[in-house]
Structures are given as structure tokens and as C-alpha cells.
Amino acid sequence: MKAKIIPIGTPNMSGQALVPETGGAVPAPVPKGSRARTLSVDEAAHTELLFSLFQKHLLGTRANAKRTVTVAMGAIHGFARYVGLPPWMWTEIDLSEFLAHKVSEDDIGLGRQATYITYLRGFQNYILDSVGLKNDIHRRFGVQPQRFVTQENAVAIKRKRHERKEATRPLTAQQCDGLIKTFDQQILLAEQAGSKSFHPLRRDKVMMMLMLLTGIRVEELVTISINDFMPDASHPQFGNYALLSVLGKGRKWRVVRLCNPIIMELMDWYTREVRPGFLRVDTDDPQLLFFSERGSRLCTEQVRRMLRDIGALAGIPFRVKPHLLRHTYATQLGKIIGYEALQRQLGHEHLSTTLSTYYHQDPEHVGNEIEQGIVQSYQGDRTPDQRVHR
């Protein structure tokens, strides 16, 4: 008799595109871990119970924001789907294999690895700290859950992140210019070939420029509403886009002031010519600024992959990530508005975070050069029509 495979977890919450373009039924993800096996009905049911209890713990006892809980459960479900074992059998080897797989297949960086470790450790501690849950697992399945996120594997990632973070430097004006020109070239080629990538490329260019012009986080970018922009009567040259209201970390709102009038021309064109092409009849939130090709909200992984790919095409010798654009924005703007104002723009709770991350005593290729690079690339010798219709 053929064994019945019980899929672990809920539908896509991990940023992976599981639904095929052609539609139809979604196939159950196949576990890839070296120890993966078919779960019994009892194992699958108890796994789902633990997931449900932990989710309620995050929402209730911990009072985490719904978005945070969604990300946390997505990380846990993604790990469970890969390992193909119930949580009480997860080990350090499974975690190492999973992270290696994510680096190899999805090119995740140290920040994403740390995110997985944080949420998996929270789930692990929730079980291990509960005598009742541990005893119930032992009574039902004859095993005691073990610690799979340890001091050793967690600290190793944290140490590497710290070392990598110290080496971060902003993009130069020439590199910003190269990114925008590369987008223009790819958009033109797609238009000439009649490629379906034409509209997504135009959307992606606007997303990249908005990150360079505002310094917002990628998690903030994908949740922006078209109504989050506001005018400022004292700065009419920005039109309706002088201020941007952003929901940041800890569900705290902040207002980001735009500093480059290019934003008005860019956003007027995008909302008029590009954005309507992504709206669908069944779009859940028609007020979003950016949509996927299916008319749904973009996931952060899509934005990360887009920046990685365009950076490689532009010949930039290191990976372009959302945080690099934020870093570039902050480094050039801090020299103009000062670091206390920059702290408010970035949404940092402590000024020390701003100073330790973005202050360079000998800032090569920073300051106004970055903004000049954006302006020159975006304007140059082009007519207004050419500037925006690439």
C-alpha cells in the first residue's frame, strides 16, 4: 500500500512561489532534508497543534504584530516543510542543512539566516520551557524534544553578520547611475521584443529608485499604500509626494520627508502609466502602491532577487540588497540634514544605531555625489518623456 504523505504547514507563507503560473491545484511540497520521511497522521496532527499553540502565544501572550507573526510562522513552516520531520525530532544537522539549502537555492544572506534562527529558537524555547508540552510529546511518541538551535550555531551567524556589517559601504554615484541605466537598457530591450517582462521591469525601476530616494526598508516598501504620500504646501515642487507615511518596526508610524523633487515626476508617471496594469478584479488591497504580476502584494524575496539580478547586470562587484540602498541613502543624507534628523527619517529608536551604522569618518564617494548621480542618470540629455518611459 502506498504511504500517504501528509504535507506539513500551511500554504505559502515563506516567500516561496508555490502556485504555478498556469493555475490549478497546488502540489504538496516535497521535503528535501536528508532525514525526511512520511509523517504519520498522529505526528502531522500534533505538529499542527504545536504550530497553532505557538501562533496564539505570539499573538496573545507576546502581543506581537500580525505581520511579525506571519513572518515568524512562515519561517517555521518553511523549515518544517524542508526537514520533513516532526518538531520533536529536529536537530542541529537539520538546521545546518536547511540554511545551506536556502543559501544555495535562494541566495539568502546572513540577515535572512539570522531571521530563521530567531524564530526557530523562539518556537524551540516555547516547547522546551513547557513541562506539559514536553511530557505530552513523550507520552504520545516516546521521545523528548531536543535543542536544535544552540549557542554555537546562533552565535556563529551573529558573529559573521557583525563582521560583514562592518565592511558595508554605500554605493557610489557611478554605481547608482549604472543601476538606473541598466534598468533603462533592459526595459528598452523588453519593449522591442514584446516581452512580458516590460511592465515588471518598469515597476522594479520605480521600486529601486524609491528606496534610494527614501531609505525605507524592504518590508516597508511592499506595504506602502498609494494614500501614504502627502503634499506639503511649503514645498509645492514635490507635488503630492513631499511626505511619505511609513509603518515601520514595532508597528510605529513615521513620516519620511522626500528630499529630491524627482519623486513627483517619477510617481506621477508610475501611478498613471504603470500601476494600473497590475490591478486585477480580485486584488485584495487595491490601495497598495506596488503589486505582483497577479495583482497581489509583493513578497520581500521578490524585491531582493530583483536587486541582486539588476546589480549583477550592472557589473557591480558585490550583491545589491535592499539594506545597501538604505545605507546609501542614509550616508549621503546624513551629511546634509545631520544625524539626529536622519535618525527620524530612518525610524531608528536610538541615535547610536544611526551613528554606528552610517557614519564614516572618511566618506569616499558620499555626500551630494549620490544624489547628483541619481539626478544626472534620471535626467541627463533626455526629454521628460524619455526620462520616465524607459
Task: Cite the active site residues.
Answer: 217, 249, 323, 326, 348, 358
Nearest to 217 by CA among 322, 327, 358: 322
CB 370 within 8 A of CB 173: yes
The residue assigned the cell 507615511 is: 245
| Residue positions counted in the chain | 390
Q: Whose CA is closest to 292, among 204, 195, 216?
A: 204
Q: Which whole-number Å values give the CA distances from 56 to 44, 50, 222, in the listed order?
A: 19, 10, 25
Spatial contact of 331 and 314, defined as CB atoms under 8 Å apart: no
Instruction: Compute and round to an integer the Cα radius of gyration of the chain.
Output: 23
Q: How far is CA 294 from CA 16, 281, 286, in A?
A: 15, 10, 12
Q: Which residue has the cell 497590475?
A: 278
Cβ contacts of residue 362 below 8 Å, gap of 6+? none
In the chain, the amino acid numbered 41 is V
Give me the DSSP letters along 131-180: HHHHHHHHHHHS------S-HHHHHHHHHHHHHHHHT--PPPHHHHHHHH
Please tell me the distance from the alpha carbon of residue 248 to that of residue 176, in angstroms, as a whole number: 25
Please give the Cα distance from 93 to 98 (Å, whole number).
Answer: 9
Give the separation between CA 341 and CA 351, rounded to whole angstroms: 10
Cβ contact 360:346 at 8 Å: no
> How many Cβ atoms from other residues are within 10 Å of residue 75's Cβ?
22
Nearest to residue 95, comparing CAs of 27, 159, 157, 41?
A: 157
Per the CB < 8 A criterion, the answer to whether 275 and 249 are in contact is no
